[in-house]
Chain A
Amino acid sequence: MTKQQYDLIVVGGGPGGYVAAIRAAQLGFKTALIEKQELGGVCLNWGCIPTKALLRGADVAHTLKEAEHFGFNLGEVTFDIKKLVQHSRSTASKLSQGIGYLMKKNGITVIKGTASLLDKDLLAVTTDNNTINCSAKHIILATGATARNLPSIKIDGDRIWGAREAMTPTQLPEKLLVIGAGAIGVEFASLYNDLGSEVTLVEALERITPAEDEEISALAKKAFTKRGIKILTNTTLTKLTTSSNCATAILNSNGEEQSITVDRVILAVGISGNIQQLGLETLGVKTDRGFICTDEFNKTNVVGLYAIGDVAGPPWLAHKASHEAVICVEKIAGVDGVKALNKTRIPGCTYCRPQIASIGLTEAQAVAKGYELRVGRFNLSANGKALAMHDAEGLVKTIFDKNSGELLGAHMIGPEVTEQIQGFGIAQQLEATEHELLHTVFAHPTISEAMHESILDGLGIAIHQ
Chain B
Amino acid sequence: MSNDIKAISMPKWGMEMSEGVVGDWHVNVGDNVSAGDDLVDIETSKIVNTVTASESGVLRLIIGKTGDTLDVGAILGVLADAQTSDAEIQAFANGLSKQGITEDVQESKAAAAEITSTEPVHQTAATSELKSTPAATSTDTSNSLSSLAAGDDDSQLHASPIARRLAKQYGVNLHNINGTGRYGRISKHDLETAVSNAGGSLIAQQAPRSQPQRIRDDSAVKATPVARRMAKDLGINLNDCRNSGNRGRVCKADVEALASLSNKQTAPEPTTVAAPVENPLTSQAMSGMRKTIAERLQSSKQTAPHFRVQIDANIDALLTVRKQINAANTQAKVSVNDFIVKACATALAQFPAVNVQFDGQTIKQFKHADISVAVAIDEGLITPIVKSSDTKGLIEISNEVRDLATRAKLGRLKPEEFQGGTFCVSNLGMFGIKQFDAIINPPQGAILAVGAGEQKAIVTNGSIVIATVLTLTLSSDHRIIDGATAAQFMSTLKGFIEQPATMLG
Q: How far, in whole Å, are A137 and B403 apart by their CA atoms in the complex?
A: 9
Question: Contact at A285–B182, with CB atoms within 8 Å?
Answer: no
Binding stretch for chain A, among B147-155, B406-414, B444-452: B406-414
Q: How far, in whole Å, are A152 and B97 apart by their CA atoms in the complex?
A: 94
Q: How far, in whole Å, are A199 and B161 apart by their CA atoms in the complex?
A: 51
- Which residues from B are CB-within-8-Å of A119? 326
Tell me how far the C-beta of B125 lies from the nearest C-beta in chain A, rounded to whole angstroms.
Answer: 39
Tell me how far the C-beta of B388 lies from the nearest C-beta in chain A, rounded to whole angstroms.
Answer: 20
What 1/0 flags go to B317-355 for Cβ under 8 Å of A?
000000000100011110000000000000000000000
Task: Decide: A28 near B330, CB < 8 A? Known: A137-B402, A430-B161.
Answer: no
Question: Contact at B410–A120, with CB atoms within 8 Å?
Answer: no
- Which residues from B are CB-within-8-Å of A120? 326, 333
Binding stretch for chain B, among A140-148, A165-173, A300-308: A300-308
Is residue B135 contacting chain A, with contact meaning CB distance below 8 A? no
Is residue A332 contacting chain B, with contact meaning CB distance below 8 A? yes
Q: How far, in whole Å, are A302 and B405 apart by their CA atoms in the complex?
A: 19
- Which residues from A are CB-within-8-Å of B201? none
- Output the nearest chain B residue to A283 by Cβ-Cβ distance: B330
Tell me how far the C-beta of B394 lies from the nearest C-beta in chain A, rounded to whole angstroms.
Answer: 13
- Which residues from B are CB-within-8-Å of A27? 410, 412
Question: Contact at A303–B331, with CB atoms within 8 Å?
Answer: yes
Task: Decide: A301 near B330, CB < 8 A? Known: A137-B402, A334-B403, A430-B161.
Answer: yes
Is residue B399 contacting chain A, with contact meaning CB distance below 8 A? yes
Q: How far, in whole Å, are A335 and B406 apart by their CA atoms in the complex?
A: 12
- Output the nearest chain A residue to B333 by Cβ-Cβ distance: A120
Tell me how far the C-beta of B257 lies from the nearest C-beta in chain A, rounded to whole angstroms.
Answer: 11
Q: How far, in whole Å, are A157 and B331 apart by their CA atoms in the complex?
A: 43
Is residue A284 contacting chain B, with contact meaning CB distance below 8 A? yes
Question: Contact at A335–B412, with CB atoms within 8 Å?
Answer: yes
What 1/0 flags go to A126-138 for Cβ under 8 Å of B?
0000000000011
- Output the nearest chain B residue to A27 by Cβ-Cβ distance: B410
Other-chain residue from B331, B399, B403, B411 in contact with A301 (beta carbon distance below 8 A): B331
Is residue A371 contacting chain B, with contact meaning CB distance below 8 A? no
Q: How far, in whole Å, are A120 and B402 apart by their CA atoms in the complex?
A: 13
Q: Which of B210-260 contact A (CB under 8 A)?
A: 242
Tell me how far the C-beta of A328 lies from the nearest C-beta in chain B, rounded to whole angstroms.
Answer: 13
Tell me how far the C-beta of B407 lies from the nearest C-beta in chain A, rounded to whole angstroms.
Answer: 5
- Output the nearest chain B residue to A30 by Cβ-Cβ distance: B409
Q: How far, in whole Å, are A387 and B310 apart by their CA atoms in the complex?
A: 88
Question: Contact at A333–B182, with CB atoms within 8 Å?
Answer: no
- Which residues from A are CB-within-8-Å of B326? 119-120
Question: Contact at B406–A302, with CB atoms within 8 Å?
Answer: no
Q: How far, in whole Å, are A302 and B406 apart by their CA atoms in the complex?
A: 17
Q: How far, in whole Å, are A283 and B328 apart by their CA atoms in the complex?
A: 9
- Which residues from B are CB-within-8-Å of A302? 330-331
Tell me how far the C-beta of B294 lies from the nearest C-beta in chain A, rounded to whole angstroms.
Answer: 24
Question: Contact at B330–A284, with CB atoms within 8 Å?
Answer: yes
Tell me how far the C-beta of B58 lies from the nearest C-beta in chain A, rounded to whole angstroms.
Answer: 49
Q: How far, in whole Å, are A121 and B398 apart by their CA atoms in the complex?
A: 13
Task: Decide: A138 near B333, CB < 8 A? Known: A120-B326, A435-B182.
Answer: no
Is residue A29 contacting chain B, with contact meaning CB distance below 8 A? yes
Q: Which of A264-309 contact B (CB under 8 A)?
A: 283-285, 301-304
Is residue A7 contacting chain B, with contact meaning CB distance below 8 A? yes
Tell me how far the C-beta of B397 lies from the nearest C-beta in chain A, rounded to whole angstroms.
Answer: 13
Question: Contact at B331–A332, with CB atoms within 8 Å?
Answer: no
Tell me how far the C-beta of A357 lies from the nearest C-beta in chain B, rounded to whole angstroms.
Answer: 26
Question: Contact at B407–A333, with CB atoms within 8 Å?
Answer: yes
- Which residues from B are CB-within-8-Å of A336? 242
Q: Which of B406-428 contact A (CB under 8 A)?
A: 406-407, 409-412
Question: Contact at A285–B412, with CB atoms within 8 Å?
Answer: no
Tell me how far the C-beta of A20 lies from the nearest C-beta in chain B, rounded to whole angstroms.
Answer: 15
Most chain B C-beta atoms within 10 Å of own C-beta, residue among A121, A334, A430:
A334
Question: Contact at B412–A333, with CB atoms within 8 Å?
Answer: yes
Q: How far, in whole Å, are A278 and B399 apart by their CA atoms in the complex?
A: 24
Question: Contact at A28–B332, with CB atoms within 8 Å?
Answer: no
Tell me how far the C-beta of A29 lies from the nearest C-beta in chain B, rounded to whole angstroms.
Answer: 7
- Which residues from A are CB-within-8-Å of B402? 137, 303-304
Question: Contact at B399–A303, with CB atoms within 8 Å?
Answer: yes
- Which residues from B are CB-within-8-Å of A435? 182
Question: Contact at B406–A138, with CB atoms within 8 Å?
Answer: yes
- Which residues from B are CB-within-8-Å of A29? 409-410
Tell me how far the C-beta of B262 lies from the nearest C-beta in chain A, rounded to whole angstroms.
Answer: 11
Q: How far, in whole Å, are A435 and B330 apart by their CA atoms in the complex?
A: 50
Q: How far, in whole Å, are A336 and B411 apart by their CA atoms in the complex?
A: 13
- Which residues from A are CB-within-8-Å of B182? 435
Question: Contact at B332–A7, with CB atoms within 8 Å?
Answer: no
What 1/0 flags go to B156-189 for Cβ under 8 Å of A?
0000010000000000000000000010000000
Tell me how far the C-beta of A119 lies from the nearest C-beta in chain B, rounded to whole angstroms.
Answer: 8
- Which residues from B are CB-within-8-Å of A334? 403, 406-407, 410, 412
Other-chain residue from A137, A303, A333, A335 in contact with B330 (beta carbon distance below 8 A): A303
Other-chain residue from B242, B406, B411 in contact with A332 (beta carbon distance below 8 A): B406
What 1/0 flags go to A98-125 for Cβ under 8 Å of B?
0000000000000000000001110000
Q: How far, in whole Å, are A435 and B160 apart by their CA atoms in the complex?
A: 13
- Output the nearest chain A residue to B430 by Cβ-Cβ distance: A5
Q: How far, in whole Å, are A386 and B231 apart by their CA atoms in the complex?
A: 57
Question: Contact at A28–B161, with CB atoms within 8 Å?
Answer: no
Task: Decide: A303 near B412, CB < 8 A? Known: A137-B406, A334-B407, A435-B182.
Answer: no
Q: How far, in whole Å, are A333 and B405 apart by their CA atoms in the complex?
A: 10
Task: Decide: A333 near B406, CB < 8 A? Known: A120-B326, A303-B399, A430-B161.
Answer: yes
Tell me how far the C-beta of A281 lies from the nearest C-beta in chain B, rounded to whole angstroms.
Answer: 12
Tell me how far the C-beta of A362 lies from the nearest C-beta in chain B, rounded to whole angstroms.
Answer: 28
- Which residues from B are CB-within-8-Å of A285? 330
Question: Contact at B406–A7, with CB atoms within 8 Å?
Answer: yes
Q: How far, in whole Å, are A301 and B332 apart by their CA atoms in the complex?
A: 10
Q: How far, in whole Å, are A335 and B332 apart by their CA atoms in the complex?
A: 24
- Output the nearest chain A residue to B330 by Cβ-Cβ distance: A302
Q: How far, in whole Å, are A301 and B329 apart by their CA atoms in the complex?
A: 10
Question: Contact at A303–B332, with CB atoms within 8 Å?
Answer: yes
Question: Contact at B333–A304, with CB atoms within 8 Å?
Answer: yes
Q: How far, in whole Å, are A70 and B206 apart by their CA atoms in the complex?
A: 49
Question: Contact at B333–A121, with CB atoms within 8 Å?
Answer: yes
Tell me how far the C-beta of B163 lies from the nearest C-beta in chain A, rounded to whole angstroms.
Answer: 13
Q: How far, in whole Å, are A335 and B413 apart by their CA atoms in the complex?
A: 10
Tell me how far the C-beta of B133 lies from the nearest C-beta in chain A, rounded to whole angstroms.
Answer: 44
- Which residues from A are CB-within-8-Å of B330? 283-285, 301-303
What 1/0 flags go to A434-446 for Cβ under 8 Å of B?
0100000000000
Q: How far, in whole Å, are A332 and B406 apart by their CA atoms in the complex?
A: 8
Tell me how far the C-beta of B155 lies from the nearest C-beta in chain A, rounded to whole angstroms.
Answer: 16
- Output the nearest chain B residue to A335 by Cβ-Cβ distance: B412
Tell me how far the C-beta of B324 lies from the nearest C-beta in chain A, rounded to whole angstroms.
Answer: 14
Question: Contact at B410–A333, with CB atoms within 8 Å?
Answer: yes
Tell me how far the C-beta of A303 lies from the nearest C-beta in chain B, rounded to whole angstroms.
Answer: 5
- Which residues from B are CB-within-8-Å of A7? 406, 409
Q: How far, in whole Å, are A435 and B326 apart by their CA atoms in the complex?
A: 56
- Which residues from B are CB-within-8-Å of A283? 330
Q: How far, in whole Å, are A435 and B182 apart by their CA atoms in the complex?
A: 9
- Output the nearest chain A residue to B161 by Cβ-Cβ distance: A430
Q: How far, in whole Å, are A137 and B407 apart by their CA atoms in the complex?
A: 12
Q: Which of A303-353 contact B (CB under 8 A)?
A: 303-304, 332-336
- Which residues from A are CB-within-8-Å of B161? 430
Q: How far, in whole Å, are A3 and B69 apart by their CA atoms in the complex?
A: 55
Tell me how far the C-beta of B2 lies from the nearest C-beta in chain A, rounded to whole angstroms.
Answer: 58
- Output the nearest chain B residue to A28 by Cβ-Cβ distance: B410
Q: Which of A14-28 contact B (CB under 8 A)?
A: 27-28
| Residues of chain A at the chain B interface (Cβ within 8 Å) | 7, 27-29, 119-121, 137-138, 283-285, 301-304, 332-336, 430, 435
- For this complex, 8 residue pairs linking A to B, each with C-beta atoms less than 8 Å apart, are A7-B409, A28-B411, A121-B333, A138-B406, A301-B331, A303-B332, A304-B333, A335-B412
A-B pairs, 3 with minimum CB distance: A28-B410, A302-B330, A120-B333
Other CB < 8 Å A-B pairs besides A27-B412, A336-B242, 10 of them? Answer: A7-B406, A28-B409, A28-B410, A119-B326, A301-B331, A303-B331, A303-B332, A303-B333, A303-B402, A333-B412
